[in-house]
């Protein structure tokens, strides 16, 4: 999951980022509306955490930009404004949730997880396919009751594929959503393919079904028949 944190209070922004990164989310941070506007226009995000009280930009204008450039993203307003009118305006303008400062980081995480389940059509954090059970909160994969060891990046990739079940994802989407800024020191052009190969090998140890389909010339698709 890739999250953009738009918050001018640097200490709070860094606190949110560090906590969400520890929970295996990829996070970008913008301290001004101008920075956020540029990031929203060029990057895909699953979530945008938006402070309405920006010094250089109207928060509601930025919200509309987000809805235009990232129509599939979910937006949580985080702001010191706690008047009911502000909440109504924000929600009516397209926000999916509203969290007034001060708030608990754990509550923010809980809301992100709840919205994620609704977004992808799951009622609980546990996703079953065949005899496999993937827990999106505990970050574990089990076959029956046996834990399957995955690296952090393998889990993030499998988790994103499973959440987007039966949807074709190209390599660029996977790199941006799973690795965030994929121009990192250990980036390699066949990164995705290598990790997919390793995941398939681990799944095949327990189940001979090919859950991850290769879509030639595009990317991959995780097939689950409901």
The enclosing domain of 22 has a CATH number of 3.40.50.2300
Whether residue 162 sits in one domain with residue 109: no
What pLDDT, on a 0 to 100 scale, did the predictor assign at position 141? 95
Residue 185 has pLDDT above 60, yes or no: no
Ranking 44-53, 81-90, 138-147 by mean pLDDT, the lowest is 81-90
Provide the pLDDT for residue 116: 81
Are residues 181 and 130 part of one domain? yes
pTM of the model: 0.68
pLDDT, mean of residues 66-80: 88
What CATH number corresponds to the domain at position 158?
1.10.10.10
**Secondary element (H or E) of residue 2:** strand 2-6
Is the Cβ–Cβ distance between 54 and 33 less than 8 Å?
yes
The answer to whether 20 and 3 are in contact (CB under 8 A) is: yes
Q: Does one domain contain both 131 and 199?
A: yes
Q: At 175, phi and psi to the nearest 5? A: -65, -45
Q: Are residues 51 and 7 in the same domain?
A: yes
Among candidates 9, 8, 28, which has minimal Cα distance to 17? Answer: 28
* 8 in Cβ contact with 29 (< 8 Å): no
Confidence of residue 8 (pLDDT cuts 50, 70, 90): very high
More confident residue, 179 or 67: 67
Q: How far is the C-alpha of 70 from the C-alpha of 42, rounded, in Å?
A: 9
Q: How confident is the model at residue 23 (pLDDT cuts 50, 70, 90)?
A: confident
Q: Is there a contact between 32 and 8 (Cβ–Cβ < 8 Å)? A: yes
- In this predicted structure, the answer to whether residue 168 has a pLDDT above a threshold of 60 is yes
In the predicted structure, residue 111 carries a pLDDT above the cut 50? yes
Instruction: Answer yes or no: do 111 and 152 share one domain.
Output: no
CB 135 within 8 A of CB 125: yes
Asked whether residue 83 falls in the same domain as residue 11, the answer is yes
Q: What is the largest CA-CA distance in the chain?
A: 56
Check whether residue 110 and residue 200 sit in a common domain.
no
Q: Given pLDDT bands bounded at 50, 70 and 90, which one contains residue 83? A: low
Q: Give the total number of structural domains in the chain.
A: 2
Task: Give pLDDT, residue 226.
Answer: 57
User: Are residues 13 and 115 both part of a single domain?
Assistant: yes
Instruction: Decide if 77 contacts 101 (C-beta within 8 A).
Output: no
Compare 137 and 183 and report the one with higher pLDDT.
137
Which range of residues forms the domain containing residue 7? Answer: 2-120
């Amino acid at each position: 999951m890739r999250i953009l944190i738009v918050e001018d209070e640097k200490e709070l922004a860094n606190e949110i980022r560090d906590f969400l990164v520890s929970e295996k989310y990829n996070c970008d941070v913008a301290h001004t509306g101008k920075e956020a506007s540029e990031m929203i226009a060029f990057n895909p995000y699953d979530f945008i955490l938006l402070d309405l009280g920006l010094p250089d930009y109207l928060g509601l204008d930025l919200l509309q930009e987000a809805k235009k450039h990232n129509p599939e993203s979910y937006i949580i307003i985080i702001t010191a404004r706690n008047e009911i009118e502000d909440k109504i305006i924000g929600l009516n303008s397209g926000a999916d949730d509203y969290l007034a400062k001060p708030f608990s980081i754990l509550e923010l995480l809980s809301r992100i997880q709840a919205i994620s389940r609704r977004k992808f059509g799951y009622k609980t954090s546990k996703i079953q396919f065949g005899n496999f059970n993937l827990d999106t909160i505990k970050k574990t994969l089990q076959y029956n009751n046996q834990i399957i060891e995955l690296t952090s990046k393998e889990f993030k990739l499998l988790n994103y594929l499973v959440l987007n079940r039966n949807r074709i994802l190209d390599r660029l989407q996977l790199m941006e959503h799973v690795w965030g800024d994929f121009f990192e020191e250990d980036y390699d052009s066949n990164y995705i393919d290598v990790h997919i190969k390793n995941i398939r090998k681990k799944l095949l140890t327990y189940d001979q079904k090919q859950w991850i389909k290769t879509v030639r010339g595009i990317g991959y698709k995780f097939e689950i028949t409901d």
